[in-house]
Amino acid sequence: MINPRLVVVILACLVLAGCQPDTPDEKLLKTADDVDAVQQKMEQAGDKVVDAADELAAREKAVEAAESELQETRKELKKIQLQYFEEQELLERRANDTALFRLVQKQLLEEPKLEGNAVSVSVDHGVVSLKGDMQSQQQVDLAVDMAKQAPGVKSVRNLMEIEQSTPQ
């Protein structure tokens, strides 16, 4: 039979053995394990930092490419806008020239003092050119004055000639 005192003594020894402080060697091993664990965590953190830096560099490169593309797009937009404004200006000028042509030609055709005379009218950039044969200098002057008074006319080029009557 087992002696109950012996069981108590053995149990007490086991309890005391588990409660005793670690030996210096055990402490050293435990510290070494802790250092290894910290180093692993630091390596993992370092890997994450490197990955984050790589991702940041890639994003910065993508931003630079997007900014460059945006700059090129803005240049193209400016070219297109300039071309658009130039074409608008050309259309407006042509519309103005056409309107001036119609106005001057109508006024000359409706003027009774110029009846029977053929006057050719052309307009370029607001400059009216009158060409044709007139019967008198007064008719030439009247046609030129009428053209000058039309709104929007910058100047008038007189290319008209006075008909020379042939003796019969």
Q: What is the pLDDT of residues 44-53, one digit of tens each?
A: 988 899 999 9
Kindly report, residue by residue over 21-57, the tens digit of the pLDDT.
Answer: 678 878 888 888 888 888 898 989 888 999 999 999 9
What does residue 114 show for φ and ψ, rounded to 5 degrees? -105, 10
SS (H, E, C) 119-168: EEEEEECCEEEEEEEECCHHHHHHHHHHHHHCCCCCEEEEEEEECCCCCC
The band of 132, judged by pLDDT with boundaries at 50, 70 and 90, is very high
CB-based contact 144:130 (threshold 8 Å): yes
Dump strand ranges (E) for the chain: 118-124, 127-134, 155-162
Residue linked to tokens 């630079």? 64
Q: What is the pLDDT of residue 167?
A: 56
Distance CA 118, CA 160 (A): 10
At residue 20 the predicted structure's pLDDT band, cuts being 50, 70 and 90, is low
Tell me the C-alpha distance between 105 and 108, whole Å.
Answer: 5
Q: Which domains does the chain have, with CATH numbers?
A: 98-162 (3.30.1340.30)
- Residues 88-99: tens digit of each pLDDT: 888 888 889 999
